[in-house]
Amino acid sequence: MTRYESQQCLPEVGAKGQALFSQAEALVVGAGGLGSAVLPVLAGAGCGRIVVIDPDRVEEGNLHRQKLYRMVDIGHPKAECATRALTDLNPDCRVQAHVARLDPVLARQLVPQASVVVDAADSFAVTYALSDVCLSARVPLISASVLGRTGYVGGFCGGAPGYRAVFPDLPLQVQTCATAGVMGPVVAMLGTMQAQMVLSVLLSHEPNPLGQIMSVDMAGWRVSSFRFDGASDP
């Protein structure tokens, strides 16, 4: 059995879809909890090139949800550790690390080169900046956020409305995983959903995940979804 045989036998993937994966470039912003779930799936599926951006280093207190890393990685840059792990997982995948915080200059440099952008950063400022650049460049953006036992994942830009069309204003109070806590399985679930949306976008599957948000509430065991195709960008 070849590496990709199990997914290639799906009629909605096939050899043509696998070729699309191998030609794709995914820009993943954030290599923390969400990124740890997204990145191995994309590399395992055969994404030809992955660019990872993250300014932080691996910390022991994050390993419960950042399962891409091991104890030996503590103190080392996440982007570099992720690159090594993904290369070990699939040598066919070319991975580039940027140990840096995403700013508008770097975003305008990297986003237009990408087939799809993954927002796995724990920062609303990064999300809004990415959406603005992706909307202008017409590059799909798959964004997710998780806190406690709840979260959401959505497809923006690339022909769909941007993030501001659904969330026009920054929240007045912003909690983080460090201050409010988070459950590892919920992070993994939302990150895996992000990865599935990325692969569906690359394959142009219908219904298109762009213009759709899925919410997950593992405290109340509820999953909901809505589309925002007709929303206006402010």
Predicted local distance difference test score (pLDDT) of residue 158: 97
Phi and psi dihedrals of 179, rounded to 5?
-95, -35
Residue 57 reports pLDDT greater than 90: yes
Residue 170 reports pLDDT greater than 90: no
Class of domain 12-227: alpha beta
Report d(CA 222, CA 234) in Å as an integer. 30
Report d(CA 193, CA 141) in Å as an integer. 13
At 172, is the pLDDT very low, low, confident or very high (cuts 50, 70, 90)? low
Residue 181 reports pLDDT greater than 90: no
Q: Report pLDDT digits (tens) over 13-28.
A: 999 999 999 999 999 9
Report d(CA 186, CA 189) in Å as an integer. 5
Report d(CA 143, CA 126) in Å as an integer. 11
Q: At what angle do helices 184-202 and 33-45 cross, to 10 degrees?
A: 40
CA angle 81, 87, 93 (to 5 degrees): 130
Report d(CA 127, CA 192) in Å as an integer. 18
Q: Which is higher by pLDDT, 2 or 131?
A: 131
Alpha helices in 67-208 (DSSP H): 78-89, 104-110, 124-137, 163-166, 177-180, 184-202
List the catalytic residue out of 47, 81, 157, 177: 177
Q: Is 134 a catalytic residue?
A: no
Q: Global pTM?
A: 0.95
Q: Where are the domains of the chain?
A: 12-227
Report d(CA 66, CA 156) in Å as an integer. 25
Q: Out of 70-84, 127-141, 179-193, which region has the weakest mean confidence (pLDDT)?
A: 179-193
Q: Report pLDDT digits (tens) over 111-127.
A: 999 999 999 998 888 99
Predicted local distance difference test score (pLDDT) of residue 176: 66
Phi and psi dihedrals of 4, rounded to 5?
-110, 10
Report d(CA 166, CA 107) in Å as an integer. 21
Q: What mean pLDDT is predicted for residues 189-198?
A: 98
Rounded percentage of the chain residues whose pLDDT exceeds 90: 89
